[in-house]
Amino acid sequence: MRNTTKEEADKMQERVRILAEFSKAGANAAKRTETPHKIGNPKTATTVGAKPERETGAAMARPQTPLQKMQALGRMPGRKMNKTEAAYARLLETRKYMGEVLWWAFEPINIRLADNTFYKVDFLVLLADMTLQAHETKGHWTDDALVKFKVAANILPFPFKAIRMVKGTFETILEK
């Protein structure tokens, strides 16, 4: 048996945690469904109202598209940066040190776009010329993210920048 590195061990622990949450969620869903009734002797009883095993569980999972696989990874806990946002925060700190940026904040405002539809600005940035800008960073831009970005840019009175990370560098793809 080979030795595992700390990174591999961390990945395995994360997978175990996700599987535990998944099975816990499935168990909670099973508790909410109607309880099947047993008929006859409890040891040899036939269960009435229960679904066969093959219809439930992860064994019957539908194939996922690449987009669904990406979205299945879930969201970051509130007010925590993902790797792209953390890299952009480092860039903003560098620009602050150079005097180009006076101030910046991560997820400072949440904008209501419509009923049950919100947009949380990734970074609010105050430039040296006293211009306040909203910067949205993504590794991959989906259509719904771009629509929310454009709607928010039309609602608020300051400039918005859509930024994506490509091979370790940031490029502005849209300014509103």
Residue range 82-96, pLDDT digits in tens: 899 999 999 999 999
Q: Is the pLDDT of residue 161 over 70?
A: yes
Return d(Cα 96, Cα 154) in angstroms, integer: 27
- Domain ranges in the chain are 6-61, 83-175
Give the list of residues 6+ apart from residue 40 with CB closer than 8 angstroms, or none: 46
pTM score, whole prediction: 0.57
pLDDT of residue 63: 74
CA distance to 82, 85, 154, per residue, from 148 (Å): 19, 18, 10
pLDDT of residue 34: 46
Percentage with pLDDT > 70 across the chain: 64
CATH topology of domain 83-175: Trna Endonuclease; Chain: A, domain 1 (3.40.1350)
Q: Is the pLDDT of residue 2 over 70?
A: no
Return d(Cα 17, Cα 172) in angstroms, integer: 36
pLDDT of residue 168: 85
Band (77; pLDDT cuts 50, 70, 90)? low
Q: Is the pLDDT of residue 135 over 90?
A: yes
pLDDT of residue 122: 92
How confident is the model over 142-163, as a mean pLDDT? Answer: 90
Percentage with pLDDT > 90 across the chain: 29
- CA 102 distance to own-chain centroid: 29
